Amino acid sequence: MNTMPEKIIIFDTTLRDGEQSPGATLNIDEKLTIAKQLARLGVDVIEAGFAFTSSGDFEAVSKIAQTVGTDNGPVICSLARARQDDINAAAAAIKPAAKGRIHTFIATSNIHLEHKLKKTKAEVLAIAREMVAYAKTFTTDVEFSPEDAGRSDPEFLYEVLEAVIAAGATTVNIPDTVGYTTPSEFGAIIKGIKDNVPNIDKAIISVHGHNDLGLAVANFLEAVKNGARQLECTINGIGERAGNAALEELVMALHVRRQYFNPFLGRPVDSEAPLTNIDTRQIYKTSRQVSNLTGMLVQPNKAIVGANAFAHESGIHQDGVLKNKLTYEIMDAQLIGLTENLIVLGKHSGRNAFRTRLKELGFELSETELNKAFVRFKEVADKKKEISDWDLEAIVNDEIQQAPDLFRLELVQVSCGDQARPTATVTLRTPEGEELTDAAIGTGPVDAVYKAINRVVDMPNQLIEFSVQSVTAGIDAIGEVTIRLQHQGRVYSGHAANTDIIVASAQAYVNAMNRLCYALQKNKEQQQVSRQ
């Protein structure tokens, strides 16, 4: 039986591996927001989390399975170690999905066997076979990963893969866990599996890889040429250490160079049929959303979605692009949803026009969320004559995707100048409803604001990142502020957008402080429950 799909399967692990990036922790509502956008993007599989690791992860996977895992939606997957407890949690979490997958794994490299697992090859082989068979009792869709496959003994790798496929694995994923291999080496690993695993035709070969040497995307494309048909990737390439293979880079490489890749998938060279199910026009929007919610900014020169990806400063380049875009651009910016700012709304626009435009942009808001966003829209419209689609996205993301509403910023006022000492006064409403006001002097207006907030919210922390970027051009542009705080080794991000950059800075800081306080509150509750 040949199970090779007609298209390359895109397996998105932004909500699992991507969320493991330091400081990228998402709450359940934020995960659900991203999952909905991933479905609109057209990913085939969403790895929604690691259900066994925490009650929050379990709830997130379950909620995504229930909301996004519809008959016409993506497969919803949960990661699980090759242990019964892990697999039980994964099975329960994905149960609401119309199409659910359990992704179980165990390490196979000698270094992992000796130092991490402290098990023999025979023991690992038996566990892999047994746990895949166990996962199969819950769902017909089971994926198995031999962790650190890139550094595993090939003969043992073939033996393990043959055993798990015989036990019921429908996808075998080959991870370059530490980003160690080069493209030719990784391609050879996939070819070796195709040539030496007798029952490989009964499973789809998948690949997962990290970008420690900057080779993840190149490795994946070489893997496709050698028989891989599922690519495990993340939006903006986020993930542990140097991150994962970037979804947008893989998809656009396969799209722009499809004539090169067509023969490797048994297609005519000139076939124009897409190689993936991804709606490329949703790429830029998805990138921005993930960046905003995780607090991880996209570098300007990032391929495909960076701010400079379609910018030209060189006079020679500008001249060529003006005459014909193809002279210096290999793809149209509109392909990824990056269009000119179409001005559609202003201060006199009504609620219905606002709702309609948001729906066209892919936002599905409840009545409460719509009301909050509309009030904010009117406030911004009083300050800006023209509201662009990017402005609308910033308004909605900022208004409805906030951290837990513990402390609320009621007032921020600053005084500064080249001959003055920057001073800030802030008023916060506490979770108990009390208004507290304090003031502070800083090295600049933002520093003064943050010092004043720290005087009100007595929670020691270290500001490790502060970044500002403009959503649109112009003196009245909305500014987006992203910050990251560190407390006891953990990182908490905050994000806010406002036409006043000082206000945005204060809101972002309060947002991060709320995440910090909420996390400490949840930890305290869990400790109390465990004592009982």
The 3-state DSSP class for residue 92 equals helix
- Do 369 and 429 belong together in one domain? no
Q: Determine, yes or no, domain membership for 322.
A: no
CA-CA-CA-CA dihedral for 487, 491, 494, 500, to nearest 10: 70
Answer yes or no: is pLDDT of 438 > 80: yes
164 inside domain: yes
| Together in a domain, 214 and 268 | yes
Could you tell me if 380 and 265 lie in one domain? no
What confidence score (pLDDT) does residue 356 get?
83
Write down the pLDDT at residue 329. Answer: 61
Distance (Å, whole) CA 21 – CA 14? 10
If asked whether residues 246 and 101 sit together in one domain, one would say yes
Same-domain status, 264 and 392: no
Greatest distance between any 2 Cα atoms in the chain: 78
The rounded mean pLDDT for the chain is 88
Give a yes or no: residue 83 inside a domain: yes
pLDDT-derived band of residue 1, with 50, 70 and 90 as boundaries? very low
List residues bridging with 484 in a β-sheet: 465, 493
Tokens read off for 74? 């993506």
Closest CA to 294 of 47, 34, 62, 480: 34
Residues 6+ apart with CB under 8 A from 71: 98
Closest CA to 74 of 253, 279, 296, 291: 279
Amino acid identity, position 73: G
List pLDDT tens digits, range 178-223.
999 999 999 999 999 999 999 999 999 999 999 999 999 999 999 9
CATH code of residue 521? 3.30.160.270
Last residue of a domain, one of 248, 267, 294: 294
Q: Stretch 227-253: mean pLDDT, rounded?
A: 96
User: Where is average pLDDT lowest: 185-189, 233-237, 456-460?
Assistant: 456-460
Cα dihedral: 127, 129, 135, 139 (round 10) = 170
* CB atoms near residue 296 (< 10 Å): 21
* Total domains, the chain: 3
Least confident of 295-299, 412-416, 506-510: 295-299
- Show the tokens assigned to 292: 């905003």
Q: Residue 43's closest CA among 282, 304, 329?
A: 282
- What average pLDDT score do residues 438-465 get? 93
- Cβ contacts of 6 within 8 Å, gap of 6 or more: 265
| 344 φ/ψ angles, rounded to the nearest 5 degrees | -125, -20
- Exposure on the CB side of residue 526, measured as CA atoms within 13 A: 9
Same domain, 387 and 475: no
Q: Report the C-alpha gap between 233 and 217 in whole angstroms.
A: 9
Burial class (CB in 10 A: 0-12, 13-18, 19+), 515: buried
pLDDT band at 2 (very low <50, low <70, confident <90, very high): very low
Which residue type, as a one-letter code, is found at position 169? A
CATH number at residue 241: 3.20.20.70
Residue 50 has phi, psi (to 5 degrees) of: -120, 85
Domain boundary among 382, 400, 418: 400
Q: Which domain covers residue 378, as residue numbers?
A: 351-400
Written in H, E and C, the secondary structure of 131-177 is HHHHHHCCCCCEEEEEECHHHCCHHHHHHHHHHHHHHCCCEEEEEEC
Q: Which two tokens stand for residue 340?
A: 């000119």
Exposure letters 113-126 (e unless 16+ CB within 10 A, then b): beeebebebeebbe
Task: Assign 3-class secondary structure to 279-319.
Answer: CHHHHHHHHHHHHHHHCCCCCCCCCCCCCCCCCCCCHHHHH
**What would the pLDDT profile of 51-100 be if each residue is shown by its tens digit?**
999 888 999 999 999 999 999 999 999 999 999 999 999 999 999 999 99
Other residues' Cβ atoms within 10 Å of the Cβ of residue 133: 16
Radius of gyration of the chain (CA): 25
The token pair at 324 is 């014909």
Report yes or no: 515 and 493 within 8 Å, Cβ to Cβ. Answer: yes
Structure tokens given for 371:
């009301």
Same domain (yes/no): 159, 268: yes
Task: For residues 174 and 242, state if they share a domain.
Answer: yes
Q: Which of 343, 370, 400 is the last residue of a domain?
A: 400
Q: Are residues 266 and 162 in the same domain?
A: yes
Do 428 and 510 touch, CB atoms closer than 8 A? yes
Sign of CA dihedral 113, 119, 125, 129: negative
Same domain membership, residue 14 and residue 132: yes
pLDDT in tens, 314-332: 444 444 544 555 554 678 8
* Structure-block tokens of residue 198: 């007798």
Q: In this structure, is residue 336 part of a structural domain? A: no
Residue 359 token pair: 């729906």
Asked whether residue 345 is domain-assigned, the answer is no
Token output for 293: 């919610």
**Mean pLDDT for the stretch of residues 142-150:** 95
Q: Is the pTM of this model over 0.75?
A: yes
- Give the pLDDT mean for 154-174: 98
Asked whether residue 469 falls in the same domain as residue 366, the answer is no
Place of tokens 């951290």: 403
156 vs 484 pLDDT, higher one? 156
